[in-house]
Structure 1
């Protein structure tokens, strides 16, 4: 969302430099950047579900790693790592023999099942067989559907290295405490909670994805054409309405019209939030971020195209400053937090009257426009 203000800054650059020669070129460059960001955002939205599922699968995989290592730590007759942090081969060999119930020198899926029992896989909505499959995939390098001792030691060594190098590792965690296993296990549980899973709500499946994508693209193009055709008449209508009703055009342009055009997003956000589900809340924020991004990019692209084709002058310094402040504040704040206390909503609400006051002061008191 914060990146969507880049075209605004590009178009505003000649005015910041007090230059008149490069204004037309800056509009063209801003238009190209805006269209590029718009296409990139649409492509991202297409692949976002796949990215989300990959992230979720990776979190589940890390949860299995930390859970299995915790089980090994509890069953080991000694420490899994030496004082230098290297894997304790002797302890791992004893563990292998203890797990190998039939003493045939190989661990089967049935024997590996003992390692995933007690991991609380229900916390991440993962079936026991899926966890065993993940374990076998990492350990069974020979692909013979069984794990020999060398593969077991290599697999545990790899997992210990990954767990120790994870972001969850605390500074005090060492080979004695191996606290990083507990840290990693708790971190993966939280990550899964924040990413959410589709099991808590029924999700409608798309019967014909290709036709849906084509329809969405056509509607997007249609909306762009409508915005381009009615942009100029809308400005005239606002001015005429302001003159006929003696209502200041500032009130209509910055209060009445935004409330009317964005009311659908507000109603949709309230409906989603009223479900009080993690996934619903996530969808609400995604919808709001998406609406802001599309407003910035799509509307700006249409507007810049009109300015460039008709050779108009770009003179919206105060509006650009307000857009920059709001998008950067909200964008940066949302980037460093995954949960939002109640007071953050008050901050977001206050940005609206702050924007109105700032535009009014800059335009009517300092004469920016």
Structure 2
């Protein structure tokens, strides 16, 4: 009888087990359960392999999102909102996904350390490591007033260079004033950290030994909700401020990113010069149409491509064309011949016929010297774009593409005034550009079709990248948490070091590449972007974190981590306000020292001070 009862009990237990254990989800069937890996050397090797594989896939997903969103900069009507809103938001998606999935599982309280590590590590890494690399890569000789040696003096010989080889003392970088504004915004976005941290410390001590005692360690839910709402409000304030900056003609960051994307589109054959700039040139036509009182409206109506050089003078367009012209000016004489003009137009994604090249060259070369200079070429290209904007199907054949000496002089006067007032513009003319092979281009497509192709490819890349990031963030969180368990290192430290390499590797590389151009404009783009990314972490990613804590009633045991984030950002604020627009090379050593110091702060507060 006892045996029957025991058997029945075992059967009941088995039935109960089958009923209560939920079936595996779709994602659980796809990804390996890292919790089942053995806690030995073999298990560690398997975990390391999974970590590398997931990290690689996540990096590719983050790059797809970045590349797709940056493509939208090629749509002139979108470039302002893309540079100011879309790029910052999508750039924070990988970090936000890691933070989100760290608090979604059944062991959310334990894995939340991974999310905090990603948040803190991303913020501090972006403000230190790429900053240091950017200052080192972009440094130039500084004069006694701290001004960088960016512009080649007139008459300087071939021995002139922006940086004396091997020199460190007396070198540094200059940036525009936008870096100060970006720092102020970053400082304002620190407020929610205090809103959640101060009430949490006032309620009770949250050290490791008290984490199981709800009476000793608990998070004021109201404080978490208020801080979360503040992060959302500051997030929209940041986006509004970015849009306002982008609407300003002096927005160096958006302009620089747009130019970089335009060059990549040309070099890869994705678009042609007409596809990139025709819509931009149409705005010039529209402005004239909207201002008939200027006396140019009737002239525009009679011949849309017959505007004067002064009207068409666009310093940004000149700076964009300058490196392409220099590429084919092999003898550095300041002029190119007919055969070189054809190659130059092809490098710009255009495919004019031999007859069109002969015609346009004859019209530009009015003095029959056998060569055309840069100013003549710029005016001719602007007239071609004006013709495209006016609806002409064969702009290269227009007789109105003539660049007379009077037109060129008008353009020179206007552009010289603009560039002389802007040392950055003059410096950019001397930038050396990488030369790439030109793949099959899209010159056979109309500008409208090229813009449509860009939109399709952009949304495809962003969609695919987002799917990858969402799918692989959860298993990556599990890998980081398991790695901490195996190595007996708290998940925060593991995530602090490794997560930013996955989610922010592209920002690090991009900042270094911008700085390597050694211009004031490129340095401003590099450093201002890093500061802006930190502000996004303080709003977008922190909002996700706070609402996880409030929604799942989790404990706020991150006093040390928050202190570390705040101290590093305050230190960077102090550095920016002291140095303002000139950063000597030695400041890079101060900045990079903040990275290990931030980890030491967390370790000291947790293990010595007994906080969290």
TM-score by length of 1: 0.53
Match of 2:591 among 336, 340, 348: 348
Cα distance change on mapping 1:4 and 1:226 into 2, 3 Å = farther
Structure 2 match to 1:10 = 195
Q: Which whole-Å CA distance do the structure 2 matches of 1:3 and 1:273 have between them?
A: 27
Match of 1:241 among 465, 473, 483: 483
- CA distances 1:112-137 after superposition (whole Å, capped 9, x unpaired): xxxxxxxxx9xxx9x9979x99xxxx
Determine whether 1:254 maps to 2:451: no
SS in 1 for 2:229: helix
Cα distance change on mapping 1:303 and 1:222 into 2, 3 Å = farther
Cα distance change on mapping 1:263 and 1:22 into 2, 3 Å = closer
- CA distances 1:143-199 after superposition (whole Å, capped 9, x unpaired): xxxxxxxxxxxxxxxxxxxxxxxxxxxxxxxxxxxxxxxxxxxxx999844799976
Cα distance change on mapping 1:351 and 1:21 into 2, 3 Å = closer
Cα distance change on mapping 1:197 and 1:361 into 2, 3 Å = same
- CA distances 1:223-248 after superposition (whole Å, capped 9, x unpaired): 9x949x946x6544322122235555
Asked if 2 retains the 8 angstrom alpha-carbon contact of 1:2 and 1:332, the reply is: no
Match of 2:526 among 284, 309, 312: 284
1:15 CA displacement: 2.5
Structure 2 match to 1:44 = 241
Q: Which whole-Å CA distance do the structure 1 matches of 2:190 and 2:588 have between them?
A: 22
Determine whether 1:299 maps to 2:541: yes
Cα distance change on mapping 1:276 and 1:358 into 2, 3 Å = same
SS in 1 for 2:545: helix
- Size of the aligned set, in residue pairs, is 247
1:1-369 pair list within 5 angstroms: 1-18=186-203, 23-53=220-250, 192-193=422-423, 226=470, 230=473, 234-246=476-488, 249-336=491-578, 337-369=580-612
Q: Which whole-Å CA distance do the structure 2 matches of 1:198 and 1:276 have between them?
A: 9
1:295 CA displacement: 2.1
1:349 CA displacement: 0.3
Asked if 1 retains the 8 angstrom alpha-carbon contact of 2:200 and 2:219, the reply is: no
Q: Which whole-Å CA distance do the structure 2 matches of 1:297 and 1:8 have between them?
A: 10
Cα distance change on mapping 1:44 and 1:341 into 2, 3 Å = same
Cα distance change on mapping 1:280 and 1:255 into 2, 3 Å = same
Q: Where does structure 1 lack aligned partners over 5 or more consecutive residues?
A: 56-120, 134-187
Asked if 1 retains the 8 angstrom alpha-carbon contact of 2:196 and 2:227, the reply is: yes
Q: Which whole-Å CA distance do the structure 2 matches of 1:268 and 1:128 have between them?
A: 38
Cα distance change on mapping 1:273 and 1:53 into 2, 3 Å = closer
Query: Over aligned residues, Cα RMSD in angstroms?
Result: 4.6
1:16 CA displacement: 3.9
Q: Which whole-Å CA distance do the structure 1 matches of 2:569 and 2:588 have between them?
A: 15
TM-score by length of 2: 0.34
More helix by share: 1
SS in 2 for 1:314: coil
